[in-house]
Amino acid sequence: MPEGAIATKAVMIWINGKAWSVREGSVVSAAMLAAGEPCRKSVSGEPRTALCGMGICFECRAVIDGVSQQRTCQVVCRDGMRVDTQS
Amino acid sequence: MISKAKAQHADVLVVGAGPAGMAAAIAAATHGCRVLVLDDNAAEGGQIWRKGIAATPDRSESKVRDTRQATLRTAFRKSGAKLLPGRRVVDAPRQGILRTIVDTPAGPIAESFAWDRLILATGARERFLPFPGWTLPGVVGAGGLQALVKGGYPVAGKRVVVAGTGPLLLAVAAHLRHDGATVVSIAEQAALRRLVPFAASMWSHPAKLKQGIRYRRALADVPYRIGWWPVAVEKASSGILVRLTNGKHTVAEHCDLLACGFHLVPNTELAELVGCKLNGGAVEVNEQQQTTVAGIFCAGEPTGIAGLDAALVQGEIAGLTAAGQTQQLSALSRKRAKEIAFGQRLNAAFRLRPEVTLLSAPDTIVCRCEDVTFSRLQGHASWTAAKLQTRCGMGPCQGRICGPAVQSLFGWRPTSVRPPIFPVPISAFGNNDSDSLEELTVFQETQ
């Protein structure tokens, strides 16, 4: 590990059925952007990802553990969490 | 579903735990007030001091700022003010009461807070302007990308174009580079003839000047195009292609991400909801940060974009006044005036050029919640008319993103704010809640 680096544990989540490892403390919208998976499909079917990153724009809404309309930028990844693109 | 709990009481209720809210809470709590602080985020600090899980310790921040941040966090924790994180304020059902939603493992819960004095420190958000391709994945806010990186997005190795306007662009670019991104270029739409006098006036703010120079030095080899702006983004075989122009020439940059924001807009929705008067898009306050409503104060960016130092001094003034400690204010009011003057110069320097409000093609989406295109908005007399005809601004962001955009594009005035000011899941309210919301923005349960 490089000097000064902060060790962080990995957390495993499922994004659209794909296993994805993130650093502990990561927010779900960041994980989805890194995984290349859209958070939601817009009303006309466009893929969308996080825009504002601070809970205002609602572009990063996705389905977390079966609950829809979650602002993924305000939710921290938990081990085993299932996240799906909201359509 | 929950049973209705009795409202928690605060002598001073602060909404927003960014620098202004923290400063206000410290001032009021250390003078004996029972202070509760509500914030939508998981921790105090606001957007500017959002805590990150960055892989490398942050050495790029100014020493001055780091010390101040640490000092304020410590003072906040010791002050006796109680932070209630994860709460978004959704309405004010009665005089002196705010209602919030908090997400819990058992589902969303509604809570009520009663206040004697209320301090609004709701901060600001980025202004976004539509242009072809701005809804593509890979286009994010400038502050938005910084928040995502702090939230664990691995930006190392990514190629990023930073564009738009405002001092945030340089700060974001410097942080992205620090975290291992390749900053391809920076495009600042402001005209050089506006930036030069602004820069020249910075001698009276040496700490800000030093930080600006530090950011610029960190980016010394990155093309920094003043008087350039983004016109379109297209999907490329890998990543995206960003087209930038200065009105005469155009360049196309291939990258993974476009970090794009056009300065900041005050978050005034809650202030409007509780009846505070606005002036020029910002909450009107007097020298003691009192709004036009008795007992309600406002501090920081909602009163006009002026940055961190303004937020800190205004927060302290609001907290002291709310605690009845007005004898200490004269030294603070000089600092306040100086920082407000800085804010006015800042906003003049980074004023939008007309060209950036004319970028939309007919099929460019303006309202991202409802996918309303530019052509559907043309010809309406007002935002109210456009809302009724097109649903522009009627989605879950409630016009927070498209509102400032249509104001810039069409000159439409914002419409009045109605509760709830954030969408509320219906399950948060039990049947026995007598304060039922007048008009619910209820999410459809699709799963």
CB within 8 Å: B148 and A30 = yes
B396 near A42, Cβ under 8 Å?
Answer: no
Catalogue all structural domains in chain B, each as residue range(s) with its CATH number. Answer: 8-125+265-324 (3.50.50.60), 128-262 (3.50.50.60), 361-410 (no CATH)
Mean pLDDT of B16-24: 98
Q: Considering only residues 8 to 27 of chain A, which have any Cβ-Cβ distance to chain B shorter than 8 Å? A: 8, 22-27
Q: If we measure between CA atoms, which residue out of B389, B392, B361 comes closest to residue B375?
A: B361
Torsion, Cα of B83, B90, B141, B340 (10° steps): -70
Mean pLDDT of B186-199: 95
CA distance B272 to B418: 9
The answer to whether position A66 is within a domain reads yes
The answer to whether position A1 is within a domain reads no
User: Chain A contacts of B153, Cβ < 8 Å?
Assistant: 26, 30-31, 33-34
B277 near B292, Cβ under 8 Å?
Answer: yes
Q: What are phi and psi for residue B232, nearest 5 degrees?
A: -165, 155
A64 near A18, Cβ under 8 Å?
Answer: no
Using DSSP, state whether B424 is helix, strand or coil. Answer: coil
CA distance B246 to B244: 7
How far away is chain A from the Cα of B125, in angstroms, using its nearest Cα?
Answer: 8
Which residue is closest to A23 within chain B, CA to CA?
A: B152
In this predicted structure, what is the pLDDT of residue B251? 98
CA distance A24 to A1: 17
**Which residue in the set B47, B151, B371 is minimally distant from A30, CB to CB?**
B151
CB within 8 Å: B140 and A73 = no
User: Chain B contacts of A29, Cβ < 8 Å?
Assistant: 148, 151
The answer to whether position A3 is within a domain reads no
**Which residue in the set A49, A58, A68 is minimally distant from B137, CB to CB?**
A49
In this predicted structure, what is the pLDDT of residue A68? 93
pLDDT exceeds cutoff 60 at B125:
yes
CA distance B424 to B99: 11
Q: How confident is the model at residue B436 (pLDDT cuts 50, 70, 90)?
A: very low
Q: If we measure between CA atoms, which residue out of B172, B170, B181 comes closest to residue B141?
A: B172
How far away is chain B from the Cα of A61, in angstroms, using its nearest Cα?
Answer: 10
DSSP state of B153: -
What mean pLDDT, rounded, does chain B reach? 91
pLDDT exceeds cutoff 60 at B4:
no
In this predicted structure, what is the pLDDT of residue B443? 41
Mean pLDDT of B138-161: 97
B381-410: per-residue pLDDT in tens?
Answer: 999 999 999 999 999 999 999 999 999 999
CA distance B38 to B12: 11
B244 near B187, Cβ under 8 Å?
Answer: yes
The answer to whether position A39 is within a domain reads yes
User: Chain A contacts of B152, Cβ < 8 Å?
Assistant: 22-23, 25-27, 30-31, 77
A-to-B residue pairs, Cβ atoms closer than 8 angstroms: 137
In this predicted structure, what is the pLDDT of residue B66? 66
In this predicted structure, what is the pLDDT of residue B415? 83
Peptide bond into B105 cis (omega under 30): no
B373 near B363, Cβ under 8 Å?
Answer: yes
B56-66: per-residue pLDDT in tens?
Answer: 455 444 444 56
pLDDT exceeds cutoff 90 at B25:
yes
Which residue is closest to A48 within chain B, CA to CA?
A: B137
Query: Is any Cβ of chain B less than 8 angstroms from the Cβ of A35?
Result: no
B202-211: per-residue pLDDT in tens?
Answer: 999 999 999 9
Q: Which residue in the block uniquely carries the two structure tokens 């406002």?
A: B298
How far away is chain A from the Cα of B359, in angstroms, using its nearest Cα?
Answer: 19
Domain of residue A57, residue span: 10-85
Percent of the residues in chain B that have a pLDDT greater than 70, as a whole number: 92
CB within 8 Å: A6 and B141 = no
Q: What is the total count of domains within chain A? A: 1
Q: Which two tokens stand for residue A78?
A: 């938990």
CB within 8 Å: A53 and B396 = no
The answer to whether position A49 is within a domain reads yes
CB within 8 Å: A48 and B368 = yes
Q: Which two tokens stand for residue B187?
A: 């495009």
In this predicted structure, what is the pLDDT of residue B166? 97
A8 near A55, Cβ under 8 Å?
Answer: no
The answer to whether position A4 is within a domain reads no
Residue type, B404: P
At residue B75's C-alpha, the angle toward residues B70 and B77, to 5°, is: 95
* Neighbour count for residue B212 (Cβ, 10 Å): 17
At residue B344's C-alpha, the angle toward residues B343 and B347, to 5°, is: 85
CB within 8 Å: A54 and B154 = no
Residue type, B158: K
Mutate to test the interface with B, among A24, A28, A37, A52 (most CBs of B within 10 A): A52
- For B186: left if phi > 0, alpha if psi spans -120 to 50, otherwise beta; the answer is beta
The answer to whether position A5 is within a domain reads no
Q: How confident is the model at residue B135 (pLDDT cuts 50, 70, 90)?
A: very high
Mutate to test the interface with B, among A56, A63, A77 (most CBs of B within 10 A): A56
B109-118: per-residue pLDDT in tens?
Answer: 999 999 999 9
User: Chain B contacts of A66, Cβ < 8 Å?
Assistant: 447
Which residue is closest to B148 within chain A, CA to CA?
A: A30
Long-range contacts of B358-361 (CB under 8 A, 24+ apart): B359/B129, B359/B130, B359/B131, B359/B132, B359/B229, B359/B230, B359/B231, B359/B232, B360/B130, B360/B131, B360/B132, B360/B409, B361/B132
B63-77: per-residue pLDDT in tens?
Answer: 445 688 999 999 999
DSSP state of B290: B
B22 near B123, Cβ under 8 Å?
Answer: no
Query: In chain B, count of helices (H) and strands (E)?
Result: 12, 21
Q: What is the DSSP string of B199-262?
A: HHGGGG-HHHHHHHHHHHHHTTTS-EEET-EEEEEEE-SSSEEEEEE-SS-EEEEEESEEEEEE
The β-bridge relationship of strands B87-91 and B97-104 is: antiparallel
* Neighbour count for residue B442 (Cβ, 10 Å): 14
pLDDT exceeds cutoff 90 at B269:
yes
CATH of the domain at A44: 3.10.20.440
The answer to whether position A59 is within a domain reads yes
Using DSSP, state whether B314 is helix, strand or coil. Answer: helix
How far away is chain A from the Cα of B33, in angstroms, using its nearest Cα?
Answer: 30
B419 near B412, Cβ under 8 Å?
Answer: no
* Neighbour count for residue A87 (Cβ, 10 Å): 13
Q: If we measure between CA atoms, which residue out of B330, A34, B304, B306 comes closest to residue B316?
A: B330
Could you list the pLDDT tens digit for every one of the 87 residues in chain A?
A: 444 455 578 999 999 999 999 999 999 999 999 999 999 999 999 999 999 999 999 999 999 999 999 999 999 999 999 999 999
